[in-house]
Amino acid sequence: MQKLDDIIATYQHQSGPLLPILHEVQAVYGHISEEAIRTVANGLNLSRAEVHGVVSFYHDFKTAPESYTVVKLCRAEACQARGVARLEQVAADADGVVIETVYCLGLCAVGPAAMMAGGEVHARLTPESFAALLQAEAAR
């Protein structure tokens, strides 16, 4: 829990610290536990309900560890035009990886693009390069 206290201390004096704290907690622990919600609420002088409301509102926040890796695949118009459909079969064959559709990663000129579980973004994906990325994610 010392790491959680350090995260809160890093952000608590900034304007609007809740979201950066929650993102950091999720990055470090892989999810935001009930204990983390209580600790963050206490650290920011908020109610547990306020923090829980934010956690439950944003679909990127997870309250339990996941048994699979989520990879975000951009299916916006620019990525569609650049061949994201060719990556869909590669994604369907991946073990231990769940593909989540997003509609813009901000890499429209260099699509198709995907965001890996750690937030790392990759562009100019081909079926071969995407398969290699998915295999590396599943091995983590």
If DSSP codes are grouped into helix, strand and coil, which group holds residue 39? helix
pLDDT at 47: 96
Q: What are residue 80's phi and psi, to 5 degrees? A: -60, -45
Q: Give the number of other Cβ atoms within 10 Å of residue 75's Cβ.
A: 18
| Same domain flag for 47 and 74 | no
pLDDT at 127: 95
| Same domain flag for 85 and 124 | yes
Q: Which domain holds residue 37?
A: 2-57
Q: What are residue 55's phi and psi, to 5 degrees? A: -60, -45
pLDDT at 2: 83
| Same domain flag for 23 and 75 | no
pLDDT at 35: 95
pLDDT at 59: 83
pLDDT at 71: 87
pLDDT at 50: 96
- As averages over each run of 10 residues, the pLDDT of the chain (140 residues) reads 90 93 90 95 96 92 82 93 90 82 93 87 95 82
Give the Cα separation of 42 and 79 in Å (integer).
Answer: 43
